[in-house]
Structure 1
Amino acid sequence: MKLNSKGQVTIPASLRHKLGFAEGDEVDVVEDGTTLRIVRSEPGLSAAERWIRLVRGSASRGMSTDEVMRLTRGD
């Protein structure tokens, strides 16, 4: 896939059909590290609420809550 001069890409028809995307659907492009993800927008939710739903449960389970708290608090 190539970006066009406007920074746009075309999602292949086979993927659009498989995932149920149709012309006129609202989507969001979300940065996920070095990856961009195209996700269906959820009407009525703020961008922050959509982002929270998108990333919920995606954190690695490598650290305990106490370890995360020490890291974020600088303890």
Structure 2
Amino acid sequence: MRVTQKGQVTIPKDLRDALGIGAGTDVEFERNGDTIVVRKTNVENGRGRQLVERLRGRGDVAMTTDEIMGLTRGS
């Protein structure tokens, strides 16, 4: 298997099938010495969830959601 110029590799179909990895599945990588382990990411702890948790409570606008939506909709 060869790494592309962008650092990409193709996970063989038999491994994807065995792990239930399809298009859009989040995976994570773990390094253990010279070995890299690839596993499906638990959707509960995926990238989107991590981003939300990192941003939670950082807003400093003293507006309600309805006021913000009114501004974005131009009403």
Distance, in Å, in 2 between the alignment partners of 1:26 and 1:43 is 8
Residue aligning to 2:24? 24
Query: Which amino acid letter does the alignment assign opposite residue 43 of structure 1?
Result: V
Q: Which structure exhibits the higher relative contact order, with contacts defined as CA atoms closer than 8 Å and separated by 6 or more residues?
A: 2
Deviations 1:6-28 (A, max 9, x none): 11100011111122111100000
Moved over 6 A (4+): none
Structure 1: stretches of 5+ with no match in the other structure = 48-75
Q: Which SS does the other structure have where 2:18 is aligned?
A: helix
| Pairs aligned (count) | 47
Structure 2: stretches of 5+ with no match in the other structure = 48-75
Larger radius of gyration: 2
Q: Which SS does the other structure have where 1:44 is aligned?
A: helix
TM-score of the superposed pair, with normalisation by structure 2: 0.55
Structure 1 residues 43, 18: CA separation in 2 closer, same or farther (over 3 Å shift)? Answer: closer
TM-score of the superposed pair, with normalisation by structure 1: 0.55
